[in-house]
Amino acid sequence: MKFKDFAKYLEKLESTSKRLEITSILTDLIKNLDQEEAEIGVYLSLGYLKAIYENPKFNIAEKMMIKILEMSFETDKKVIESHYAKSGDLGDVAFELSKTKKSGNPRLNDVYKDLQEIAEVSGSGSQDLKINKSAELLKKLDPLSAKYAVRIILGTIRLGFTELTIIDALAQFLGDKTASAQIENRYSIHPDIGLVTKIIKKEGLKGIEKIKIEPGVPILAQRCQRLSDPKEVIEKMGRVWAEFKFDGTRVQLHMNRKIKPKSKDTEQNDLFDRESGEMLIKTYTRNLEETTHQYPDIIEAADRLIEADSVILDGEAIGFDKKTGEFLPFQETIQRKRKHGVAEMVKDIPLKYFVFDILYLNGKELIDLPLSERKELLKKAVKPNEEIIIDTYVETDNAEKLTEYFEEAKDKNLEGLILKKPGSVYQAGARSFSWVKMKKADTKLLEDTVDCVVLGYFYGKGVRAQFGIGGFLVGVYDEKAQKFKTITKIGTGLKEDDWIYLKKEADKLKTKEKPKNVEVNKILEPDVWIQPKIVVEVGADEISKSPTHTAGYALRFPRLIKFRTDKKPTDSTSIEEIKTLHNMQKRGYY
């Protein structure tokens, strides 16, 4: 396929917000890509170059792109900035500027290779080389192709669909809508939508049976449903394992002693004087982001304490005070998320890694085994120690005992409990009642907090005028519609540093128009729209039904609790969870 024709598909996708129509367009695209193009075509439609867990970043911002456009189209910077001020999109600017130039007609594969080369440029003089390579690419492209190439490079392609829509398109391509569940199941244990597409194009549905769990490829984390009443928990789940819920960050650890890693992390190796390249050992967040360089202490401990050739563990890392041994709040633990100064931060914020599950051991997948069997294998795989700790639990079918353990969690200043069915399998990527969370909140009214996504912000007035932001609109995720729907506006709970941080991060995600995957009532439209990427934890006094907010519910007296940089937007609280929270909140206190 020519990239010009591929760009036409992207234009069609951009022109609609109807999910069925988007699915149909994607199905047609998959049909018309050949077997070798299918993988990269799917990646590029999402704005990726590779699977999300290993996708390289271009590290090209707006100012740098303006220089690229100057060089590519031999146009004065002021002209480009004038176009940009009107359109708010450098992709649209490239579209206008390239109308006056002759262009080539490269194939999709060739443009993809050029994009890969741009992303891989690093080291001394890399900025100039990136500018030159990007300018050369744009010179080859027609206006529509240039528009989308610029957006891919800047990470602003925004076509309003996710991997789940592509899974539906693949099922439609196969002529079997019921195949979506089977495809999603394989994707959940090996989240590489390009690979899944490539195999289906070559071998059909049977081909995906060869997709297996593999150390070095993160698995989509199982998620929890919510309940607040211990009696309801026992009625719904029966006998449960109750584990403490830690206010840390989810860490999935992968190790294979028989495979050498593709690259080495010098800071990690220098810190603990380990031999570089001796084995594959990595960590990932629930967002599938690799964080190996952030946790050299966990890596080193895993090397010493795990008695297995290969393993995948699921757990929670939480910082602690070296003097008192007390756990640190999430906002301090998350400071370990950094690229530089890792060695110093290891000393300042040491971690304990509480492991609650094992998903793979010595070449065997374990997710279909009962939790009780997985826990026994976990105990054999990790030596007893104080660094990688096998999470303890209380087993009960008694609501009073469960209440006592919940109170114990609160006394320890922990978040609450996670309740699990001991006979349950590990449901990668799913949110089901085999795992349920009971959390305490910062309020005596609404018993739990809500994870929301920032959709836009309002200009500041009065004292907040100095920040350029005085409030922001947030929403929750509707999994069925695959859209973010509004639930409240927030203007409290933020310190000065929080306003500055939010404005800075939001401005990186600004869009001229409402994102396609956002549904909002016109009377609530913010002054500035942003891509739904920033996740915040919000406390409130009450959830009420709302005819104004598109979620159908509103948070009363909302306030920011903290920023959740460890969560992806689609992991925010769902509409179904909001309904549950609304039904189970205390009455008569308002």
Q: What are phi and psi of 147, to 5 degrees?
A: -55, -50
Whether residue 245 lies in the annotated active site? yes
Inside any domain, residue 343: yes
432 and 455 within one domain: no
431 and 315 within one domain: yes
Domain ranges, residue 427: 223-439
458 and 408 within one domain: no
CATH of the domain at 148: 1.10.3260.10
- At which residue do the structure tokens 């009107």 appear? 86
128 and 75 within one domain: yes
Work out the average pLDDT over 252-268: 72
SS3 content of the chain, % helix, strand, coil (to 5): 45, 20, 35
What would you report as the CA-atom Rg of the chain, rounded to the nearest whole angstrom?
Answer: 25
CB within 8 A of 20, min separation 6: which ones?
A: none
pLDDT of residue 446: 66
Q: pLDDT (tens digit, 9 = 90+) per residue, 273-327?
A: 344 457 899 999 998 999 999 999 999 999 999 999 999 999 999 998 888 888 8
CA dist 417 and 415 (Å) reads: 7
387 and 249 within one domain: yes
Inside any domain, residue 325: yes
Feature table: binding site: 243, 250, 286, 316, 356, 431, 437
537 and 390 within one domain: no
Check whether 264 has a pLDDT greater than 80.
no
Inside any domain, residue 149: yes
CATH of the domain at 394: 3.30.470.30
Can you name the residues that pair with 17 across neighbouring β-strands? none
Number of domains in the chain: 3
Q: pLDDT (tens digit, 9 = 90+) per residue, 408-462?
A: 988 888 888 999 999 999 999 998 899 999 876 533 456 678 999 999 999 877 6
Among 472, 441, 437, residue whose Cα is nearest residue 577: 437
What's the pLDDT band for 103 if we cut at 50, 70, 90? Answer: confident
CB within 8 A of 368, min separation 6: which ones?
A: 425, 426
245 and 372 within one domain: yes
Q: pLDDT (tens digit, 9 = 90+) per residue, 474-520?
A: 999 998 888 999 999 998 778 888 999 999 999 999 998 899 999 99
Work out the average pLDDT over 544-567: 91
Feature table: binding site for ATP: 243, 250, 286, 316, 356, 431, 437
Q: Which two tokens stand for residue 72?
A: 């590519």
Inside any domain, residue 186: no
Q: Identify the active-site residue in 198, 245, 421, 440.
A: 245
- At which residue do the structure tokens 């010493």 appear? 304
CB within 8 A of 83, min separation 6: which ones?
A: 92, 93, 96, 97
Inside any domain, residue 201: no
33 and 84 within one domain: yes
467 and 325 within one domain: no
